Amino acid sequence: MTRESIEQSLEPGGPRERERRRRLPLSGELALAALPTATVLVVLALVERLTTQRLLFASLASSAFLIYLDPEHGMNRVRALTLSQGLAALVGWLCYAALGAGYAAAGGAMVLTITVMIVLDVVHPPAVATAMSFALRAGDASNVGLFALALGITAALVLLQRAAAWTLTRLRPRAE
């Protein structure tokens, strides 16, 4: 990676990205937005029925929006999604087990998750919310149930990423 490409990736959205987004017609934008919206609504209903861990929904919603915005970005790739979300759930649970629910567990989970994501080069920012959700753990939901829920959310995000990338390639004008 060149220094120029690194600096460009740190910009909130350069002219090239804005130009590419403008090339999609409104119907294309709505089609892309429908995927994460449907995913979030389905998982929200699932979370509501199965557990009191509503904070996990925040992580999913953030991931879904990032995938909609740029499904081909490195932080939205399958490797980054699965590793960061899985590790975040584990780190959050370990912090909860060691420190109990509260500020110390949430703060520790946040710091450890960010560090691990950077070291492994699997940065997906919403995973920080996943770690904190596990560390703050509400109610008496079982750890196995929470892990299954996190795994299901990660699988939904992977499917969402692939569907969004597939949709985006079909919605772009042929001239590209």
State pLDDT tens for residues 133-176.
889 876 666 655 666 676 677 677 778 777 877 877 777 666 54
Query: In angstroms, what CA-CA distances link 109 with 62, 75, 93, 132?
Result: 18, 20, 8, 6
Identify which of 56, 50, 76, 78 has the alpha carbon closest to the alpha carbon of residue 129. 56
Quick one: 5 exposed, middle or buried, by C-beta within 10 A (0-12, 13-18, 19+)?
A: exposed
Instruction: List CB contacts of 71: < 8 A, sequence separation 6 or more.
Output: 161, 164, 165, 168
C-alpha 89/C-alpha 115 separation (Å) is 14
What pLDDT score was predicted for residue 26?
A: 78
Flag residues of the chain having pLDDT under 70: 1-24, 47, 50-57, 138-148, 150-151, 154, 172-176
What pLDDT score was predicted for residue 73?
A: 86
Structure tokens at 161: 């990423």
Query: 175: which DSSP letter?
Result: T
